[in-house]
Chain A
Amino acid sequence: MKEYSGVMVFAEQKDKEIHKVSYELLGKARELADQINEEVVCCLCGPSEIDVNELIYRGADKVFHVQDEEIFGSPEVMTYVENVVKIIEEKKPEICLFGATSFGRSLAPRVAATLKCGLTADCTGLAIDEEDMKLVQIRPAFSENILAHIKSQYLPQMATVRYKEFDEAKRDESRTGEIINFPSIKIKNNPIEVLREITEEAFNITDARVVVSAGKGLKSPEDFKMIEELAAVLGGVVGSSRPLVEDGFISKAHQVGYSGNRVKPSLYIACGISGAPQHQAGMKEADVILAINSDPSAPIFNIADYGIVGDMYEIVPQMIEKIKGKRA
């Protein structure tokens, strides 16, 4: 038997709810595992009453569940590292996938460094090379200008994978699998203490179907009202380019781009945004892009399906009226 086998997915949970990226990873893991004729396993750290069967319905053959009622309650990497390392050492998967969420991106490197294996960041594509049956890990680099095809030299072949890159695994309640429980390892004298969680507005731009964003073309924070209204009539949410966040017009949760959120809505409307590469990095995969900009040479028009050259202060209110009119 091979020393390393199977495809492992790290299933991320918060307040007993499993992050959707885990289901996307399970879908991909199933595909890869079928190609190399191996099983799909999940590593889950969390309290006992999590709905573990869901991971099986989504394609896992086995779930390694490190149970602890307390320590996995807050996202503290240091409490996870040893537990995850132990499961990987126990199972020895050939491939090991983490979601490239902010938590996954902080946890996976420590796990990889402990195991001294490679780690490919933020993959957008994964495939098995037919020749050597190794995992080809595809990821954007150089600020999204290139795609690098990467292979690991050691096992497990480990990668973090972007959220919303793959489709969620289909749910099949007739699937069965094995759940194996493990006690947790508690670290002594954890050097990090979570003092409190700052409850922010529960705003989530990444799942929105329609995003209406404003950029430096917007003159004052009050003018976001008009953007909000357009978003509202379209059943969408408000986004922003970075400078407006820097100027304090709107909170960081709304920022779209390389150092903000990546969105993939059905419709993205960019109002008064020039379309710098760093902004494009966050929105270029929208299904339909409309750009409204007074400058016909603005780069945003190069990636827009539709463009309106003109003053957003005239166009946006008119558009709101037209849409309302259509609905009436």
Chain B
Amino acid sequence: MRIIVLMKQVPDMEKVKFDREKGVIDRKSAGTEINPFDLNALEAAVQIKETHGAEVVAVCMGPPSAEVALKEAISRGADRGILLSDRKFGGSDVKATAYTLAAGIKAIGEYDLVFAGIQTVDGDTGQVGAEVAQFLDIPHIYYVDKIEEVDEESITVVTDIWDGVYVKKMKLPGLVTVTKDINSPRLPAFKEKMKSRKAVIPAWGMDELTGFLDETETGRKGSATMVKRIEVPKAVHRKGLLWRDNMDTALNEFVDILVDKKVIEVE
């Protein structure tokens, strides 16, 4: 069994700075990390590998420096990593990203399962997974909270959608996107960390993907949407009446406010 995990390298959201005046994101202001939801996707794949035996391949599309994310993936249990990297991939929107990832997956060859995170913390669309599935012409299940069963032919999962929770069974090959609730990602183990340091991460560009990827379908050229402008909204700041000392007065005043605002109805 082969499981492919889609993992994006994202800026560390705690540190990244946003310039309100210029309306730009200063990516250099922060380090990078693996998109948190993709760690859950990787963990789910590694757990299947441990119970059923599988090869786990982490795939990331990004700049050459994103190699470190794939090394980290190996230290967390992936068998190998493949970086999809080419200047021509730059500026990809959801469609172009999904198309390029799908090309990378096709170039890997046979696979049974594709795991993705439900969303990235930067792009934040939650759309890449389903579009990859469509381009690969395989079924997908979104918002997976739990994997009940896996075998060579199918996967049975619990998915939380449409004001309801459903148990669904999908024939393989198929794609699954996972939520943060599916598991708690493990930390890299020492032995794996050493191994990952030596790992060679192949970088595939247009040349390596010949036959799978059309230049007009990737990067800015292949994108169907354009970001026209970025606005950094003012942080929400409110009136902030703060009571510190006399609780009794504080509560009386607050309850009066609630009556005033008709949250509490009194006769």
Contact with B along A119-153 (1 / 0, CB 8 A): 11110000000000000110011111111111111
CA distance A290 to B126 in the complex (A): 31
CB distance A102 to B162 under 8 Å? Answer: yes
Q: How far is the CB of B265 from chain A (nearest CB, A)?
A: 8
Most chain B CB within a 10 A radius of its CB, from A81, A119, A198: A119
Alpha-carbon distance A14/B125, docked complex (angstroms): 24
Q: Which of B189-233 contact A (CB under 8 A)?
A: 223-233
A306 and B127 in contact (CB under 8 A), knowing A146-B25, A146-B231, A197-B165? Answer: no
Smallest CB separation, B120 vs chain A (Å): 9
Q: Which residues of A268-282 have CB atoms within 8 Å of chain B's CB atoms? A: 277, 280
Q: Judge whether A118 and B247 touch: CB under 8 Å.
A: no
Interface of A is mostly: mixed
Given A75-B166, A192-B168, A305-B241, answer yes or no on A109-B134 (Cβ-Cβ < 8 Å).
yes
The total number of A-B Cβ pairs within 8 Å is 262
Most chain B beta-carbon neighbours within 10 Å: one of A102, A197, A284: A102
A301 at the interface (CB under 8 A from B): yes
- B235 CB to closest chain A CB (Å) equals 8
Instruction: Pick from B98, B126, B225, B230: contact of A153, CB below 8 A.
Output: B225
Interface 1/0 per residue, A277-316 and B, CB below 8 Å: 1001000100011100000100001111111111000110
Do B259 and A326 have beta carbons less than 8 Å apart? yes
> At the interface, yes or no: B257 with Cβ under 8 Å from chain A?
yes
Question: In the bound complex, do residue A116 and residue B224 qualify as a contact, i.e. CB atoms below 8 Å apart?
Answer: yes
Complex interface: stretch among A52-60, A164-172, A173-181, A317-325: A317-325
What residue in chain B is nearest A101 (Cβ atoms)?
B162
| Closest A residue by C-beta to B237 | A302
Report yes or no: B232 in contact with A146, Cβ–Cβ below 8 A: yes
Cα–Cα, bound, A160→B161 (Å): 16
Given A118-B224, A143-B13, A191-B171; A266-B162 close (CB under 8 Å): no
Chain B residues with CB below 8 A from A7, complex form: none
A113-B130, A194-B168 known; A143-B247 Cβ under 8 A: no
Interchain CA distance A280-B130 in the complex, whole Å: 28
**A259 close to B242 (CB less than 8 A):** no
A4 smallest CB distance to B (angstroms): 14
Q: Is B238 an interface residue (CB 8 A)?
A: yes
B124 contacts A141, CB within 8 Å?
A: yes
Query: Can you name 27 A-B pairs with beta carbons within 8 Å?
Result: A14-B164, A76-B168, A77-B140, A105-B142, A113-B131, A121-B124, A121-B126, A137-B225, A141-B122, A146-B232, A147-B230, A148-B229, A148-B230, A148-B231, A149-B228, A192-B139, A192-B168, A193-B169, A196-B167, A198-B158, A198-B165, A198-B166, A198-B167, A252-B145, A259-B179, A305-B240, A327-B264
Instruction: List residues of chain B with CB under 8 Å of any chain A CB.
Output: 13, 16, 18, 25, 93-95, 98, 121-131, 133-135, 138-143, 145, 156, 158, 160-171, 174, 179-181, 184, 223-233, 235-244, 247-248, 250-252, 254-255, 257-259, 261, 263-264, 266
10 closest pairs, A vs B, by CB? A118-B224, A113-B134, A118-B225, A121-B125, A109-B130, A106-B142, A102-B161, A75-B162, A191-B171, A109-B127
